[in-house]
Amino acid sequence: MTRTVYVNGVYMPEDKATVSIFDRGFLFADGVYEVTSVLDGKLIDFEGHALRLGRSLSELDMQSPIEMEDLLKVHRELVKTNSIEEGLIYLQITRGVASDRDFVYPSKDTPPTIVLFTQNKPGLADSPLAKVGIKVISISDQRWGRRDIKTVQLLYPSMGKMMAKAAGCDDAWMVENGTVTEGTSNNAYIVKGGKIVTRHLSNEILHGITRSAVLRFAREAQMEVEERAFTIKEAQDADEAFFTSASAFVMPVVEVDGRSIGIGTPGPVATRLREIYLEESRKVAV
Ligand code: PMP
């Protein structure tokens, strides 16, 4: 079935949607994005994603082509038209189409490009992988220094996923100056003696919307949380590990660099946090 997508104010079939070869997103990865999940046909954590989008745009001195209320309308319309019960909405905004290839930004009146499309993922919440957990390898973090901005320059994370795949694993945790920054497309956590440890916020990691919600739910459930960097050795010696992202929610990690975490199965903290996150965010989904 052909999807209906949204390009620069117009809903159209995916095979009719095109973007110029001079688009700054294509030539310079000069663009930002968001991924919002859909459960029961409703958007999860929409406000958080919209706020982060605004911040990413302003950090790059980029204009928004759309008001936030209209953005919600477009998300909802795409969910409805494409009959998405469980899945994802991808949104990308770039600095638009310059008249030629030039490192210097085009003039401020250049309209940004905005694209949204849906990804249908039946069974997203009831993921079989979450029941067994995933395996990660560690790789050195070779991304740029402003990882707090959600840009579309995802080549290194993509290479990281391929390295993980080649090693028979599911993902890679990136390490810089001896500590884990984050996963290729998620925030990383360990649990030791009941305490949840995850890296503190800075320019070194993306400020995950799921991270923020999960830490809030953990604290509300009287779980202890420490926001600090941790090493791969600590992860291997932890009782549990997991990651969070809008597309996988809370995902248990059962192996790091070939060493089982705990008894090598999803731990009680990750399992409980996944349940709480799904339950609570469904209640306030829009
Ligand atoms: N870190 C990175 C590098 C990511 O790409 C993502 C997901 N896009 C995350 C963390 C998780 O963020 P969120 O919970 O907002 O999906």
Query: Annotated catalytic, 150?
Result: yes
Interval 174-195 mean pLDDT: 98
Give 239-257 pLDDT, tens digit per residue. 999 999 999 999 999 999 9
Burial of 280 (0-12, 13-18, 19+ CB in 10 A): middle
Nearest CA-CA partner of 115 in 71, 159, 147: 71
DSSP 15-65: GG----TTBHHHHH--EEEEEEEEETTEESSHHHHHHHHHHHHHHTT---S
Nearest CA-CA partner of 91 in 106, 69, 109, 74: 74
* Interhelix angle 209-220/268-283, nearest 10 degrees: 110
Of the residues 187, 199, 210, which should be mutated to test ligand 1's pocket, given the most ligand atoms within 8 Å of the CB? 187
Amino acid 221: pLDDT? 96
CA 63 to ligand 1 center in whole angstroms: 22
100-109 in b/e burial notation, b at 16+ Cβ within 10 A? eeeeebbeee
CA-211 nearest atom, ligand 1: 14
The pTM of the whole model exceeds 0.85: yes
Give 7-28 pLDDT, tens digit per residue. 999 999 999 999 999 999 999 9
Give 41-93 pLDDT, tens digit per residue. 999 999 999 999 999 999 999 989 999 889 999 999 999 999 999 999 999 99
φ/ψ of 210, rounded to 5, equals -70, -40
Within a 10 A sphere around the Cβ of 142, how many other Cβ atoms? 11
Strands 31-39 and 42-43: antiparallel
CA 109 to ligand 1 center in whole angstroms: 31
Domains of the chain: 4-124 (3.30.470.10), 129-284 (3.20.10.10)
Which position among 121, 131, 135, 150 bears the catalytic label? Answer: 150
- Using CB distances shorter than 6 Å, the residues near ligand 1 are 35, 182, 185-187, 206, 208-211, 244-246
What residue has token string 């958080």?
Answer: 48
Within a 10 A sphere around the Cβ of 276, how many other Cβ atoms? 18
Interval 135-156 mean pLDDT: 98
CA 272 to ligand 1 center in whole angstroms: 21
Of the residues 38, 186, 200, 216, which should be mutated to test ligand 1's pocket, given the most ligand atoms within 8 Å of the CB? 186
What residue ranges in 121-223 does DSSP mark as E strands? Answer: 134-140, 171-176, 179-183, 187-192, 195-198
